[in-house]
Each structure stands twice: as C-alpha cells, then as structure tokens.
Structure 1
Amino acid sequence: MSDASDDFDDDMPSDDPDFDYDDSLGGSDVDYDDNDNFDNYDDIRPSDSRMRACDVEHTVLTLDELQRRQREQVDQVASTLGLSAEDAMTLLLHYKWKHERLLELYVDDTEGVLRAAGIQTRDDGAPAKYATVPSKDLPAGFMCEICCDDDDGLETMAIDCGHRFCLDCYRHYLTQKIVDEGESRNITCPGDGCRLVVNDGAIRLVVDDRTYARYRTLLDRTFVQDHDRLRWCPAPNCENAVECGALSAGASRDLKTIVPSVTCSCGYSFCFGCGLPEHQPCICVLVKKWIKKCEDDSETANWISANTKECPKCMATIEKNGGCNHMTCRKCKYEFCWICIGSWAEHGTSWYNCSRYDEKSGVEARDNQAKSRASLERYLHYYNRYANHEQSAKLDKDLYVRTERKMTLLQSTSGMSWIEVQYLAQASSVLQQCRQTLKWTYAFAFYLERNNHTHLFEDNQKDLEMAVEQLSELFERPMQELAENKVLVMDKTAYVANRRLVLLEDTARGLLEGRWRYQVDVK
C-alpha cells in the first residue's frame, strides 16, 4: 500500500528541443567581395530601403538637441505672449510643455493662466523681480522667518510676492527641493501658503553650480516625460532620448497593432511602447502577461495541480509515492482511491477497478486533473524553448568577446586585414539578434489561437530556427575552416537575417490586418 505524502519535489521536467538539421542551406541572391567593408553590421537590411511593416520611424536625440528644443519652445512662447524667458519656461513647465494648449488657454484667460502657473500678474508687463539685497539696506527690523537671524550683515532674497528670507535659508530650501526631493517644476516660494513659483532665473541666482546642474538635468527629464513621443534610452550610461512618431494619443490601442522596436545610436534596441528590451514579434500586452506568468507562483500551483491531489476529507495536498492506488492521508488518516478519489471502503475487493465508483465528483476530479496536466505540458513546451533562447541571449557579452578574439586570431593567421574579418562580427550580431527574436516568438505562439495563420507563423519560426542553428554551428568551427569558408559564412548570415525579416514582416502585417486571434483578452 502506498503511503500518501504531502512532501513533494518541485522539479519540473525538462523539454529541450532536439534539432536535426540538414547541412545544406539555400543561399541568397547576394554577391560578396572579399574586400567588402561592413561599417554597420548590427543589422543586415536588403538594398530596398522602403519602410517595412515591422519597422517604425524614430529619431535619436542627444542631450544638446533636447535642450535646443526646450529653448526653441521657450523662445516661441515668450515672443508670442510678450513674456520674459523665465515666465515662459514657468508656464511651459506648469502645462507640461504643451505649448499649443498653453497659447489657447492664455488667450481665453490670461490672468487665470498666470495665476495657476504661480506667476505674479503685473499691469506693466514687466518681468519677474528677484534680487539679493543686504539686510542693512532694508527697513529696520528685518528678521529671517526661517532661522530668526536679524544680523545687519545678512544677504536676503525675495521674489515678486515680497516674502524675504536670508540668502542661506533660501539656498538651503531650494537645494533641498532640487537635490533631496527631485523637484524641477513648480518650486514655490518658501513663504507660508505662498503659491508663487521660484523661476529659473531666481534659482540660478541663489544655488551653487552643482545644484543648478542637477536642476537642469531634472528639467531635461520632465521634458522627455511630458512628451508622449519621447522616451529615454534604457541603456546604462546612455543620455540619449528617442522620438517615435508611430504612437498617437491612443498609444494603448496602437500597441495592439504594432511592436514599436527602436534602436538608439548607442546600439541598444528596445520597445518604445513599454521600455522593455526589444521583443518583436510579441505585442506589449502579451509580453507583460508572459513575464508575469513566468515569474509568479501560478505555474507552481499548476504543477501541484497536475502532479498532486487533495485528500477528499481534510483537503491536504498529497503526492503519490508508490504504485498502489490505496492511499492513506498522513494528516487525517482517511483512506481513499488515488484513481477516482472515492472512499476506499466502497471499493470492496475491486482494488484496481474503479468502474463501480461513478459519482459526479469523481468524474469531475479526473477531468480537471487531465485538463491541468495538458495545460502544464503546453506551457512547458513553449517555456523551455523560450528559456533556451533567453539563456543564449544572456551569453551575448561572452559571444562578443569570443568573436573579437576570433577576429584577431584570424587576422594574424590568415593575413586578412581587420576590415576583411568583419564578417565574423556580422555573423555574431545576427545570431544575437535572431536569438532575441526567436525567444519572443514562443511567448507569442503560446497565446495564439490555432488556425491556418498560426501554422504559417510556426513554419516561418521553424525556418528561422533551423537557419540560426546552422549558422551557429558553422560559426563555432575552427579558425582555418572559417577562413576557408568566408563566403559561405557571409551567405548564411545574410540568409538568416532575411529569414528573420520574413517572419517579422508577416507577423507585423498580421497585426495591422487584425489577422491574429488570441486565447486571452488583450483589451
């Protein structure tokens, strides 16, 4: 008799694919010369430069270009409304750089707009007043309301509201707002209940250079965050921003029909819609569902459901640890049948025949067990292949180092120039790019409904995976063979890159045409 146990192993079975490929691979209609110079081998594209369905137009903006755009908007608003540059910037910060909306509101209610932005309204149209004044030049009896210092030698500071404080307290207040709290817009006067904003000019006058540099950095961040079509490049130490015109105001709707993959000038590719690393051809909503599915405990529960059962009496989760179907719960000592979950006492002498036990609860238990097991097997099929390519993607850095080493060795042993061995770097880059694409094809396929379009997608997926494995195998050959088969490596590299584009193009067109149907709600 088997002794039911509630201690079970959490290990899940492995389901790694075993590929058996033919060594032959069709070539592409590309002519190569041994002296070809591959200046940009991060991506291989056909000679046709027309936009494909899987591409999105985007522009990389440096920090200088971002600041130039800020100055242009400030100058435009200042000249149009007849305001100072400081007041124009305060207005733009308050209205989140929506200058067209700002101009419309300003015409309708000038005083209301200025008041809402924290700007003192002045009949003469004079710019904001701010200056440091020695306390000895002020009327007798001045005392800083923050530190209560009334020394005649104090430097003081006030803006239009007239709330005057000593310069040290004003500087400390602004430094705390900027450095500690990360504020860059709507920093109001330290006066109790005052809503007037300390503008850029006043901040520059009071704080030190380091704090002002931090303030400008925060302004740059708000500028990008306030624009729907701008996003910072997520790559470490990269200060560039990317502008993508593919997304409209209804970005959530657009992200169901496109995967806006962009590439920064630093070489990093990411999704403009969600900010995650590039995940073509899988749309953002499915990417988030897949990541959550892989990270949370739902699949552990699924494994438990598929490999364990609950005691019919005390509902303790148990695992069968022997061949006999006569189970005894360790917790409550209840005896039951593992097959039908029925009481063992009702089985009589028919220990291995559950046909006599045909209650509805037993049938439902068996059906649920079968469904749970089938669901788990399907998930593992896609997850293992996804994880395999994800692991390969994590080795990108090592692959790049090994590629450089191969290029150096090949250059020294074959007499080739550094330009002539660039085809190895090109092959390495294409392999990394295709591994990333293949990884997300399995997440995408997991959520697709089965139909003729799905079969075509899986055919393209299979062709790309076969080509990638062939190129990977060729890439790992000894140096001498790589030197002798340079044209073959280049030809297969171009073929693999082309197969990736075929898959992405077909998937992207399917998204635009509404061809794909999913097993989950993507609304």
Structure 2
Amino acid sequence: METNSKKMSDCDSDTKTTSDDDYELNDSFCSDIEEDGETDNVEPKTPDPEHFEYECLNEEETDHFLNETAVGLSEHLPISPSSTKVLLQQNKWNAADVLEKFYNNASNHAVSERIEAATTAIASMSISSAPTMIQQNDESGENASSNGEPEIVTPSHTCPVCTDVQAVEKFHSLPCQHSFCQDCWTMHFSIQIKQGITTKIGCMEQQCKIRAPEDFVLNLLDEPTRERYQRFAFVEYVKSHPELRFCTGPNCKIIIRSTDISAKKATCNSCKSAFCFKCGSIYHAPMGCQMLREWLAKCEEHENAPKFKFTHKTCKYCPKCHVSIEKIGGCNLMICSNCGCYFCWLCTKSLESHVMGPFTCSRYNEIFNINHKTMHIHNEMLRKFLHYYNRWRSHSKSLQQEQQTLNILTARINEEVAKTRKPLSDWQYLFDGAALLANCRYTLQYTYPYAYYMETGPRKDLFEYQQSQLEAEIENLSWKIEHSETANRADFEKQMIIAEKRRTILLKDFFANDE
C-alpha cells in the first residue's frame, strides 16, 4: 500500500460567489507577475488548489479493507459479517448510517434491506414448506418393514423447483424460509453468476426479495464458480463504495482510496494513469463533473450532425503575405519565414491586432443582428459553440504535437550526451519544462468548455483575463522548448515558474469542485 499526497492546501477549491471587490483583489494579485518575467513580488508558495490525499491499494489490500469494515460493524449487530456486507452495500458503506437505522427499528430495517423476511411471510411459509415423511404402512396402517419390524422413517421434502423428493439435509433456505434443494440452489447461483449478477442474487421464490448473503452462496458453489463469484462480487463492492475507484489504466488492478470524494486528480502509482477521482472520467479541472458530461454530450451531438465537420488544419495562410504555413509544433505563436509576421495560429491574425494583449482572441465576442432575430439566435449559438470547441480541440492537438517535439528533443539530447559525455542531469530542466508545459496546456484546454458555460459578467471577465494570461505564458514556454538550443536556461526556468503560477492562480479562483 502506497500513499500519494501533494502539497498541503489551505484553500477551498469549490467555486464560490465572489464580490466585485474580490475581482479587483484577484486582478491585482495576478498583475504581480510582470510581463517582463519578474517574479520578485510573487508569493514563494501558493496553496495548491489541486491538493488531494489518496492511497493506491492492490486487490488483497482492498478486500481486507472491505472485510474489516464488515466484521467491525457486525460486532455491533446481531447478524453475520456477510449479511452486514449486504447492509453496507445498500447504504453506500456508511457504517454510522447502518447502525442508526438498525437500532431505530431493527426488524423493519432488516426487511427493507432484504436480509430478513417479514414475520407474517415466514409464518405462512413455515407450514407449506414443512418436510414430508415418507413411510411404508402395512394393512393395519402401522409402520412395518418386510421382516415385520418397525421401519425407520427418514424425513424428506419435495423441492418446489425440480419436484424431486430428497432428504431434508439436502435442502437450504434463506431467512424467508423458502426451502429448495442444494442442486437447484447451485444451478440458480451458477446461472446468475454467468449473467454477471453476484451481490444482488435473490431467493428463487418469484415474489421474494430476500438477498442471498456471500457465505450462503459460497457454500453451495464448486471451486471454479466460487472464484468467479468472488471476482465479480469484489468488483461490485468496490463500485458501490464511495471511497474506492478502480484505476482507469488498461489491465491495471490498482484501486484508489480516498476519504476526500471530490473532483481531484488521482494518479496510479503503477501505470501512472490519471483520472478524476469523483466521476472516474478524464481529469477535467477547472470543469466540474456534470459540466464535463454536458460538454461531451454536446460535442457528440454536433459531431454527429450531417453538416458538422471538424478539420484540424495543419496549413494556414500568413495574414500579411498570404503564404501557406504548416504548423508542426505545439506552440500557437507563429512566425512567417517569408515576411517575418508574428501571428496567432488560432485566429490567424497578427499579434499586433490583439489590442488587449496576446491571445485575447480566446474571448468570445457576441454579434447582434436584430433584423433576423430567430436565425441570429440559432447561428449565434452555433458560432459560440464552435469558438470554444475549436480551441478545445486545437489545444488537444497541440499536446500531441508537443509530445512529438519532446521525442525529437530527447533523441537530440541523447546524441549530445554520447558525444560530449556530459551527464544527462544537465538537460533535466528541459524534461521538467516539457512535463510542466503538458500539465499547463491540459488545464488550458479545459478552460474553454468551462468558459462556454459561464454567464456573462464580471466573474467571466476575470476568468477570460486569467485564461488569456495563462495562454500567453504557455505559448512562451512552448516556444522556448522548441528553440531550446538558443534559449537561456535562467529565462527558461523563470518562464516555467510564471506559467505554473498562472495556472495555479486560475484554478485557485475557479476550480469547479462542485456536485
């Protein structure tokens, strides 16, 4: 078992309602990072809004944790640990909630949670389910054997399913008292397990809702089926426990456990896969889980539309000399090799046209057309969506291109190490910069869906300001990595600090750790 933890954070990462004064305070705090890269006025340590404590468990450790919880609770209840597991699973493994419900009304709670049957039902079934006595009688009506001596009568019972008459010892029943032979129980369990049903296996009686506890099922299964049942049941227990999440990595058997059930990033210590702990989906800060679901559904809806087509252009035209330029790196700051024009790849406008500063084109400007109101609303909604969608996809593409750049850089560094015999640690800052760049751009990518759902107002104005500042620093860092041969190491490391500071500030103010 290994515990993973980031820096301690004293801040609340939930989205909060903030006054206009707060916006001015945050804006001035952001302006502490000067455009020329000065960081003297910046606090040396900023609370990490992504702070998240969790631990990585293997299957044995997780199974021990689940069983320990059930055994510990069963010591306070008059039921077995396996029946306690049924209660815990039904109540999302909240032991305190189970105890409170049980002691408030033990009988009703047991019935409602399907571990016991109602008293009237048991009484009615006890008569009809009573074992029958098979015996031989002579002509006088007395029990007799062939040699004239009394015959020993063996209690037996007719199975309601297979109608076979068998000894009572071969019959089993749940607390509901519905009795069936062992062969029928085994067949019933095997069929249910093949269908993927384990912890919700119930009694064979059609109208009965009693659940079969784990120990009852295991005692009636053969070894192969028992192993399959335990494997499926383990998955069901983990999925029902709010503090446990399966790692999303391919074929990874690690389970993440945390008492902080929030939309924070969990990284597996085995396969290094990262995901949102709360929803189990891709990590999506600063978006909330529900917001991500809505965004992905909207993207799927538009992508499946007949007239919708997204193409990531690798070639665009210079806004000054109109020569065709191909983008092969992740940086969106472009220089035309023909005329030397600096322009933004996202909007294909010269940086001089960005009056408010670089990458102010990330803001969406609504166009009003009162002459064609109905058509305008539809077109404006589509235009707004495409504005944010295209940038969301473009930054995703930039992440892939920057990974290719890193691969080329790594090969070049390895050649340099072989030639000069310098230690690889001399270039470690470049690898650190590439990792930080990927983290910052990943956050930037999900700021666009976040902005799409924001309401117009001072809070969105502040967000778009911080978003444009973060984007500018990310592109500067990407540029330095692509031109690492001529970049100054001190400037490079300073740019890393500035970019991460911008990202941290944005998440601190807008991390939607909601729901």
TM-score by length of 2: 0.61
Match of 1:440, as an amino acid?
Answer: Y
**Per-residue deviation, 1:439:** 1.4
Equivalents in 1 of 2:40, 2:439: separation in Å?
A: 22
List per-residue Cα deviations over 1:472-521 (Å, max 9, x = no partner). Answer: 2232347xx27x8555444433332222112222324xx69xxxxxxxxx
Q: 1:297 to 1:452 in 2, by over 3 A?
A: closer
Aligned to 1:200: 214
Q: Aligned-pair RMSD on alpha carbons?
A: 4.3
Equivalents in 1 of 2:418, 2:454: separation in Å?
A: 50
Match of 1:471, as an amino acid?
Answer: L
Equivalents in 2 of 1:211, 1:263: separation in Å?
A: 34
Match of 2:181 among 157, 165, 169: 165
**Per-residue deviation, 1:389:** 0.5
Q: 1:486 to 1:159 in 2, by over 3 A?
A: farther
Match of 2:37, as an amino acid?
Answer: G
> Is this contact kept in 2: 1:282–1:441, CA < 8 A?
yes
Equivalents in 2 of 1:115, 1:462: separation in Å?
A: 59
SS state at 2:54 partner: strand
Match of 1:267, as an amino acid?
Answer: K
**Per-residue deviation, 1:71:** 1.9
Aligned to 1:325: none
> Is this contact kept in 1: 2:266–2:276, CA < 8 A?
yes
What is the 5 A alignment of 1:56-455? Answer: 56-62=51-57, 63-116=59-112, 117-119=114-116, 139=154, 146=161, 156=170, 158-159=172-173, 161=177, 163-167=179-183, 169-180=184-195, 182-191=196-205, 193=207, 195-243=209-257, 245=259, 260-265=264-269, 266-297=271-302, 366-370=372-376, 372-394=378-400, 398=404, 401-402=407-408, 405-406=411-412, 408-455=414-461
**Per-residue deviation, 1:142:** 6.0
Aligned to 1:460: 466
Q: 1:373 to 1:150 in 2, by over 3 A?
A: closer
Moved more, 491-500 or 431-440: 491-500
Equivalents in 1 of 2:307, 2:102: separation in Å?
A: 59
Q: 1:394 to 1:239 in 2, by over 3 A?
A: farther
> Are 2:487 and 1:472 aligned?
no
Aligned to 1:505: 508
List per-residue Cα deviations over 1:293-331 (Å, max 9, x = no partner). Answer: 333249969999xxxxxxxxxxxxxxxxxxxxxxxxxxx
> Is this contact kept in 2: 1:96–1:226, CA < 8 A?
yes
> Is this contact kept in 2: 1:471–1:493, CA < 8 A?
yes
**Per-residue deviation, 1:388:** 0.5
> Is this contact kept in 1: 2:115–2:210, CA < 8 A?
yes
Aligned to 2:359: none
> Is this contact kept in 2: 1:463–1:499, CA < 8 A?
yes
**Per-residue deviation, 1:114:** 3.7
Equivalents in 2 of 1:382, 1:203: separation in Å?
A: 53
Match of 1:55 among 40, 50, 65: 50
SS state at 1:292 partner: helix
SS state at 2:446 partner: helix
List per-residue Cα deviations over 1:435-475 (Å, max 9, x = no partner). Answer: 21111222222333444443433232222222222222232
Aligned length: 384
Task: Mark the runs of 5 or more structure 1 residues left unpaired by the alignment.
Answer: 1-23, 31-45, 123-136, 248-257, 305-362, 513-521
List per-residue Cα deviations over 1:10-40 (Å, max 9, x = no partner). Answer: xxxxxxxxxxxxxx9626579xxxxxxxxxx
Q: 1:406 to 1:496 in 2, by over 3 A?
A: farther
**Per-residue deviation, 1:191:** 5.0
Q: 1:118 to 1:451 in 2, by over 3 A?
A: closer
Equivalents in 2 of 1:476, 1:397: separation in Å?
A: 11
> Is this contact kept in 1: 2:55–2:256, CA < 8 A?
yes
**Per-residue deviation, 1:59:** 1.4
> Is this contact kept in 2: 1:61–1:241, CA < 8 A?
yes
Q: 1:441 to 1:80 in 2, by over 3 A?
A: same
Q: 1:189 to 1:138 in 2, by over 3 A?
A: farther
> Is this contact kept in 2: 1:170–1:206, CA < 8 A?
yes
Match of 2:87, as an amino acid?
Answer: L
List per-residue Cα deviations over 1:178-219 (Å, max 9, x = no partner). Answer: 231x22324234356555543222322232444334333433
> Are 2:37 and 1:26 aligned?
yes
SS state at 1:436 partner: helix
**Per-residue deviation, 1:385:** 1.7
SS state at 2:495 partner: helix
Aligned to 1:348: none
SS state at 2:186 partner: helix
Equivalents in 2 of 1:138, 1:415: separation in Å?
A: 94
**Per-residue deviation, 1:414:** 4.1
**Per-residue deviation, 1:176:** 2.1
Q: Which has the higher contact order (CA 8 A, sep 6+)?
A: 1
Equivalents in 1 of 2:499, 2:426: separation in Å?
A: 20
Q: 1:275 to 1:464 in 2, by over 3 A?
A: same
Match of 1:492 among 491, 495, 512: 495
> Is this contact kept in 2: 1:94–1:186, CA < 8 A?
no
Q: 1:172 to 1:429 in 2, by over 3 A?
A: farther
> Is this contact kept in 2: 1:230–1:244, CA < 8 A?
yes
Task: Mark the runs of 5 or more structure 2 residues left unpaired by the alignment.
Answer: 1-34, 120-151, 310-368
> Is this contact kept in 1: 2:182–2:220, CA < 8 A?
no
> Is this contact kept in 2: 1:77–1:99, CA < 8 A?
yes
Q: 1:87 to 1:415 in 2, by over 3 A?
A: same
List per-residue Cα deviations over 1:45-78 (Å, max 9, x = no partner). Answer: x974x744x3253413413443233122212222
Match of 2:295, as an amino acid?
Answer: W
> Is this contact kept in 1: 2:56–2:254, CA < 8 A?
yes
